[in-house]
Amino acid sequence: MGLRAAGNNARPIEPHQAGASASAPRLFAVTDADVGESDPLQTQAEMVQEMASLACLAFATMDSGALQRRPLPRHLGASSDVYHAYRRVFPLMEKKLQLPKLPPGVAGAPVLSGASTALAIAAGIAAVVGVSALHKRAAAGRSDAQKKSGPNVRVGLLRMHVPQNFRDLVKNDVLLEKAAEMVAQTLLIFVSGRDKHEVVNYTSELYGMAWEVACALGKPFLDIRIVGGGVSPDSKTWEELVLQPELNAVFGEDALVDVQRLNAQRFERDGLFAVTYHPLAMHVERRLAADVNYFENEHADLTPHDLVILGGTFDHLHNGHKKLLSLAVSICARHILIGVTADSMLKKKSHAELVEPLERRKDAVRAYLTFLNPKLVVDIVTIEDPFGPAIVIPEPAAMVVSSETLAGAAKINSIRVERGLPKLHIFACRRTESSTLSSSCIRDKIAASRNR
């Protein structure tokens, strides 16, 4: 639920309701769609926000009755703590600042005093800045069950730069994945670069990448809109996107973005509600850990290892599996150990009844490895837990994973260190294949063909 600037579907606070002139600051309104069940902390954040707007109006017009005449929003009960704070806030501020009273029924004129105007603006901005903290507190206070229920950002904005090196490439992968994961309705992406040519080319490529990410997340209807910075004189700028009325959140790598300034700008310019900022630097650094070697990185050391390990389901062996197996063979000097997931661990897979039997999956893996390099020693074992032999083999080894499973690789090395075993050398590949390149997609197609 969120407060929006007055629009076609909103119930705005008309100027006469607050005893203000037509030039009064734009106020927030609660849309009909927003009325319903809500997080108490989220509601408090929204109420503080609306009170901030009303306080600014009251200060600017010197009308102490503005707040008292404001109809109570329908989603609050008259006995709530927020309601009482709502009705008390302006009289307390008025008393503290010793503002003059106006005769009943007389609308105040705009204050020309520099000090009063500055005070009004400062009060409004300070309150809006406080909303950011309340929004963050509300987000942090949600239960695990609520977090699992789905994305909590309706409209988000992500800033990306045209990648200039491998680090930038991986960073953009993470930013796109995380932003798409958290946004429910519309994801706006602003792309900046050194010149128009590279911005246009990367924007074109990014549409395909964004589609693949959305499909992989099970969100094919996510509305993704990409704006190339500087592509044309009339194209939207970053500053204009930040001021979009429907915007709920901003995503970026930098953890030091001045959120207060961003929200103050939104309030000063258009009276818009505060947005939350989601720094993604932590996720980027995890993906770019120093002990991870990416096959796509031209500076990676791909010296062959005596033992290379790899795990997976390998159901209906497809090109994604073959890619990982081929990469594993490319850094293997002698011995390759493959863990194949047991049938008992696959019962919750979609169309689990169509998963190939364990031995058939093992045979397919062995046949492909033999085709790639018949001289390698190939051992294939059954995995009946999340880690398999990776946490028990005593000798040094390399492990091949995809970028999505890097967290699991880090956990394996953590367990090995606890057991006094040497860390595995982690080799990863970026996920670049189509969202339809998966075992689950193959099973879906098989199931669909059987139902015809």
Q: Report in angstroms the alpha-carbon separations of 369 from 31, 64, 262, 325, 433.
A: 60, 80, 55, 7, 21
Number of domains in the chain: 3
Single pTM value for the model: 0.61
325 and 396 within one domain: yes
End position of a domain, from candidates 90, 106, 141: 141
CATH number of the domain residue 183 falls in: 3.40.50
- Same structural domain for residues 446 and 299? yes
266 with 302, same domain: the answer is: no
- On whether both 37 and 94 belong to a single domain, the answer is yes
Q: 442 and 314, same structural domain?
A: yes
Q: pLDDT per residue over 175-190, tens digit each?
A: 999 999 999 999 999 9
pLDDT at 281 over 80: yes
Q: Cα separation of 18 and 435, whole Å? A: 53
> Using CA atoms, how far apart are residues 64 and 99, in angstroms rounded to an integer?
8
Same domain for 278 and 296? no
pLDDT of res. 112: 40
The reply to whether 118 and 169 lie within a common domain is no
Token reading at 415: 């367990």
pLDDT digits (tens, 9 = 90+) for 293-333: 999 898 899 999 999 999 999 999 999 999 999 999 999 99
Residue 146: inside a domain, yes or no? no
- From 229, 252, 286, the end of a domain falls on 286
As a whole number of angstroms, the distance between CA 146 and CA 151 comes to 10
CATH code, domain carrying 354: 3.40.50.620
Which has the higher per-residue pLDDT, 147 or 26? Answer: 147
Q: Is the pLDDT of residue 155 over 80?
A: yes
What is the structure's pLDDT at 273? 78
Mean pLDDT, residues 143-162 taken together: 70
CA angle at 176 for the pair 3 and 204, rounded to the nearest 5°? 110
Which residues span the domain enclosing 12?
4-141
Residues 221 and 297 reside in one and the same domain: no
